[in-house]
Structure 1
Amino acid sequence: MTRELVVLGTASQAPTRDRNHNGYLLRWDDLGLLFDPGEGTQRQMLLADVRTSMISHVLITHEHGDHCLGLPGVMQRMVLEQRRDPVVLVHPEAAGPYIDRLLGVGLYDGGPDILRVAVPTDGAVLGLGDGRSLVATPLDHRVPAIGYRVQEPTTTRFVPALLERTGLSGPIVGRLQAEGRVHVDGRVVHLDDVSEQVIGQSMAFVMDTRVCDAAAELLADVDLGVVEATFRLGDEELAARYGHMTADQAGRLAAAAGVRRLVVTHFSQRYPDTAGFGLEAGRHHDDVIAAVDLDRIAVPDRVDAVAGAEA
């Protein structure tokens, strides 16, 4: 199964000669979560070999154009490619009127059903199947905006060597899993005695926000954190005024939150060179990628057990 971030665009307010408006596809096994399709996303999908059949969800953080103007084109592409499976469209409740207008821009005839989820001001938790969840949390921007976190559950698995040591095999193992403990030869074997916990992988998407507690909570201990870094050091006042972060702030935030791999993006057109964003954030975090259009960035391998090594 594939777990990667496909970067369709990295520009903030205005695209540049080298950077398309925002757009990010998270491929997560059977899921394809398209975050913030800005203008030009449909064309970027062609360049990145992304088909609409890969998209299960479209997730909008807020109504600013660089985060949603590509939505009509993506939906029209679904008609062209004869997409039939429903698509889930998630957005802040406050952005509802803007989403209505975007979906009504052109004739949408013969495309898949659109299952809309409007996230209220206090956030929401949505199911993604197989115990996975999508957490949507309000952030601190100039308009109502939300960040997202994809979270797998922590699961329990048996350790064969521990089972062998206790002499357990066959149907009694199933009983142990169902009941949590079994009696064997006059003693009690607990599930914890012969198993270990496997931490579910996680990803957070934190766009257009000032540094805030909600952003830190979304990013806490995630395997992959995609974080806006609109400005550079020296432009902190601009960042605060317009509801954004610098790369330095993004690096500090991710390091404090325990993010394993940090991707910085959403770069202002005032900076022609984006490599400096990675260097700036990298002063605080040792695994930083400054996103480039059409990059494919792997989600780091899972942590195998609660206190174990990587798989």
Structure 2
Amino acid sequence: MSVRDLIILGCSSQQPTRLRNHGAYLLRWNQEGFLFDPGEGTQRQFIFADVAPPTVTRIFVSHFHGDHCLGLGSMLMRLNLDRVNHPIHCYYPASGKVYFDRLRYGTIYHDHIQVIEHPVSKEGIVHQDGAFTIKAKFLDHGVDNVGWRIQEADTVKFDKDKLKAAGIRGPQVKELEAKGEIEIDGKRIKLEEVSWVRQGDIFTSVIDTKPCKNAVSLAKGAKLLLCESTYLEEHKDLAHSHNHMTAKQAAAIAKEAGAQKLILTHFSARYRDLKPFVEEAREIFPNVDVADDFKRFDFPLQDFLLTQK
């Protein structure tokens, strides 16, 4: 089975600490490596995480505040140095094109890689293929800031017992999948009679925002929701004035959206202990954990029984 996990390369907010680097998040999902908000030092964090940078296939920048993008240039230069032969897709708010260019071309180097830009100017689907659909929505942070929803394609799964009972075997299975029905001994068997659909999993990234409807929309039914929770409730006023959220507000979004698991991140440097974030969030949403540098969260396939419910 292909690797499916979320690796925290950094979880601090504007100011890094001795223990927490600027934010950066790598989602390894089948054959893709989705890198979100590469802050300063991301290239080095890959070394400590023991992950090869060429794993990255797509880079997402939510907005162009420094802690979310200062590692972009060095990551592209590293991929260029490694001479990756796959294209690097970059998604970012279109209004930040000037900052993207400054980061990409901030130093002298020989450009060998293929960078495909996807500046986002309107909400909706920004990429779709046979494997994934990527959607973008604008969040509430005072500047153009994009949240991301990645959903894998649904897949048809066959019930071996039903195939056997119907007498369908070998190449006939592929024929049935392609045509939707097949005739066996004078009887027509439809695809849905011997199969079931595994709905594609959903990952959502909501970083830097006040609570808003678009955050809930992006997180609807997400298997894994990575969400900012810069402050605790005692600093709720700071969260509002700086266009951020508290752990409880992030938990409320997860609950309303019906997400399966919530990962809190983007912590203010004023906090050393992250346990209170979990404690406050669990008052509203039970399945919650906190990001921490180099922590990994598995993102496994759902099993048959869970999918069937």
Q: Say yes or no: TM over 0.5.
A: yes
- SS of corresponding position for 2:234: coil
Q: 2:74 is matched by which residue type in structure 1?
A: G
Structure 2 residue aligned with 1:143: 143
State the one-letter code of the partner of 1:88. Answer: H
**1:116: Cα distance to partner?**
0.9
Amino acid at match of 1:222: A
Contact 1:8/1:44 (8 A) holds in 2? yes
**Structure 1 residue 237, shift from structure 2 partner:** 2.4
Q: For residue 95 of structure 1, what is the aligned residue in structure 2?
A: 96
1:215 aligns with 2:215: yes
Match of 1:163 in 2: 163
Aligned partner of 1:192 in structure 2 is: 192
The TM-score normalised by the length of structure 2 is 0.92
Check whether the contact 2:88–2:114 (CA below 8 A) recurs between aligned residues.
yes
Is the CA contact 2:92–2:120 (under 8 Å) kept in the aligned structure 1?
yes
Query: For residue 168 of structure 2, what is the amino acid of its counterpart?
Result: L
User: Does structure 1 conserve the Cα–Cα contact (< 8 Å) formed by 2:14 and 2:22?
Assistant: yes
Unaligned runs of 5+ in 1: none
Q: Which whole-Å CA distance do the structure 1 matches of 2:253 and 2:225 have between them?
A: 10
Partner of 2:117: 116
Cα distance change, pair 179–98 in 1 and its aligned pair in 2 (3 A) = same
Distance (whole Å) between structure 2 residues aligned to residue 292 and residue 139 of structure 1: 24
Aligned AA (1:220) = K
Rate the CA distance shift 1:124–1:181 in 2: closer, same or farther, 3 A: closer
State the 1:109 CA deviation. 1.1
Paired-residue identity, %: 37
Letter in 1 for 2:22: H
Q: Is the 8 A contact 1:197 1:306 kept in 2?
A: no
Counterpart residue number, 1:30: 31
Task: For 1:177, give the aligned amino acid.
Answer: E
Secondary structure of the corresponding residue to residue 234 of structure 1 = helix
Kept after mapping to 2: 8 A contact 1:124/1:137:
no
> Larger deviation: 75-84 or 258-267?
75-84
Paired residue secondary structure (2:33): strand
Instruction: Report the TM-score, using the length of structure 1 for normalisation.
Output: 0.91
Q: Deviations over 1:263-292 (max 9, x none)?
A: 100001122222211221122222211111
The one-letter code of the counterpart of 1:206 is: V
Distance 2:155 2:240 in 1: 40
**Distance (Å, rounded) in 2 between the aligned partners of 1:8 and 1:67:** 12
Deviation of 1:230 (Å): 0.7
Question: Aligned residue pairs: how many?
Answer: 308
Distance 1:173 1:33, change over 3 A: closer
SS at match of 1:249: helix
Partner of 2:226: 226
Q: Residue deviations 1:41-76, cap 9 Å, x none?
A: 122111112222111111100011110011122122
Secondary structure (helix, strand or coil) at the match of 2:96 reads helix
Q: Give the distance between the partners of 2:303 and 2:207, measured in 1 at CA.
A: 26
Structure 2 contact 125–136 (Cα < 8 Å) conserved: yes
Alignment match, 2:152: 152
How large is the RMSD of aligned CA atoms in angstroms?
A: 2.0
3-state DSSP class of the match of 1:225? strand
Q: Secondary structure at the match of 1:90?
A: strand
Aligned: 1:133 with 2:162: no
Q: C-alpha deviations, 1:98-154, integer Å up to 9, x for none?
A: 111111211131441211110113343303x43312112211211011111111111
Instruction: State the distance in 2 between where 1:110 and 1:307 align.
Output: 45
SS at the partner of 1:91?
strand
Query: 3-state SS of the aligned residue for 1:216?
Result: helix
Residue type at the aligned position of 1:165: A
The reply on whether 1:19 has 2:20 as its aligned counterpart is yes
Which residue in 1 is equivalent to 2:82?
Answer: 81
Structure 2's unaligned 5+ residue stretches are none
